[in-house]
Amino acid sequence: MTRRSFLAAAGLAVAAPAARRTAMGTSPDSFPAHRMRAAHELLELCAEVGLGGCQASLASLEPDYARRLRRRKEELGLYLEIQTRLAGDDPSEFEQTVRMAQEAGATSLRAVCLAGRRYETFSSLEEWKAAVAEFRKRIARTVPIVEKYRMPLGLENHKDWTLEEHLALLEEYSSEYLGVCLDTGNNISLLDDPMEVVEKLAPFTVNTHVKDMGVEEYGDGFLLSEVPFGDGLLDLKRVFALIRQARPKVNFSLEMITRDPLKVPCLTEKYWATLPDRAGIYLARTLRLVRANPPRRPLPRVEGLDTEARKRYERENVARCVEYARSHLGLA
C-alpha cells in the first residue's frame, strides 16, 4: 500500500483540518453511519473533529501498513488502540495482529467474548454454558500471547458477563496483560449498578468505552440508550475520577452510539433464562433507577433518517460529548 493509496483509502486529504483537540478519543461505534472501523480512516476523522485518538481495527496485517499507520498516528499526535478478536483454534492470526498492533504503535488491544447481547442471543442456560466453555478456551489461548508480547488486552463488559462473573474471570486468569475494556453503561442491561461496575472494574481497566446512558420504561422492561454527556443518569465526574484514580494513564474513548434505543426485556421469561442467579433485588434496584431518571430529552432515534442525516446527527452528538468533556471532565 503506497502513501497515496493509504490516505485515499481513508477518503481524506493528506493534511487533516486543524480542530480544537480534546484528550478524549473514540471507538468506531460513535460513527456507525460513517462505516469507519479501520484505524487509518478513524485516525483522520479524529483529527478532523478534534478527538485525541481511537480504538479501531487493522485493515491489513502487513508490516508496511502497520509502519505507515504508526507514522500517520505520530504525525497527527493521536493515541491508537486496536480492536481485535480473541485467539481462535489457530492462534497465529491473533499473534500476527498483536505483532502488527505493536508495529503500529498501539498501546493496548480490546476484545469481546460475545458480539451480541446475552439475553437476546441465548434462549436457555445450556446454550449460555456452552458458549462460556468456548469463551474460556479463547481466553486461555489469548493470554499466553499477550503475555509473550507484553501487550495489554481489555476484555469488554459487553452485555455478556455480569459484574461478578467478569471479576471471577479476571481472578481465574490473573494476568497483568488481561484486563478490562471498561464500558460505563453496558451492565445496566444485566441489572448491575453502573457505579458499582466502575468502582470494581476500574482497577483492572486497560482501555475504555465512556458514555452516558438514558433509560425509559416500556411494557416488557426498559429502554436503554447512549445519550450525549450530561443528558443521562451517570455521575460522569465520579466515573472519570474513579478510573483516573485507579488507572491514571488509561485513555478515555467515547462510545456515543447514535441509534434507536435498545430494549431490555427484563420482565419476560426469556430474559431470565441465562440469569438464574440474579436475585430479585437486582431487578428492583434497576427499575427504581429507571423510574428515578426519566429522560431529560427524548432518547436518540434514527429510524426514518437517511444516511446523510444520520451522519450529521452522529457528529452533533459526538460534538456535544466533546464539549462536555472539555468543560466538565478535565479533558481539554
pTM of the model: 0.94
Tens of pLDDT, residues 169-220: 999 999 999 999 999 999 999 999 999 999 999 999 999 999 999 999 999 9
Q: Report pLDDT for 20.
A: 74
Q: Report pLDDT for 12.
A: 43
**Of 88, 95, 81, which is closest to residue 254 (Cα–Cα)?**
81
Share of residues in the chain with pLDDT > 70 (%): 94
Number of Cβ within 10 Å of residue 295's Cβ equals 17
Tens of pLDDT, residues 253-296: 999 999 999 999 999 999 999 999 899 999 999 999 999 999 99
Per-residue cell: 306: 437517511
Domain ranges of the chain: 3-328
Q: Averaged over 83-110, what is the pLDDT?
A: 98
Whole-Å CA distances, 42 to 47, 142, 146, 242, 253? 9, 26, 24, 28, 12
Q: Report pLDDT for 15.
A: 47
More confident of the two residues 35 and 7? 35
| pLDDT value at 319 more than 80 | yes
Number of Cβ within 10 Å of residue 164's Cβ equals 12
Q: Report pLDDT for 71.
A: 98
| pLDDT value at 9 more than 70 | no
Please give the Cα distance from 51 to 44 (Å, whole number).
10
| pLDDT value at 37 more than 60 | yes
Q: Report pLDDT for 19.
A: 61
Tens of pLDDT, residues 125-137: 999 999 999 999 9
1 confidence band (pLDDT: 50, 70, 90): very low
CATH number for the region 3-328 comes to: 3.20.20.150
| pLDDT value at 156 more than 90 | yes
Please give the Cα distance from 13 to 311 (Å, whole number).
19
Whole-Å CA distances, 325 to 45, 183, 321, 322? 18, 17, 6, 5
Q: Report pLDDT for 289.
A: 99
Q: Report pLDDT for 332.
A: 82
CB 25 within 8 A of CB 52: yes
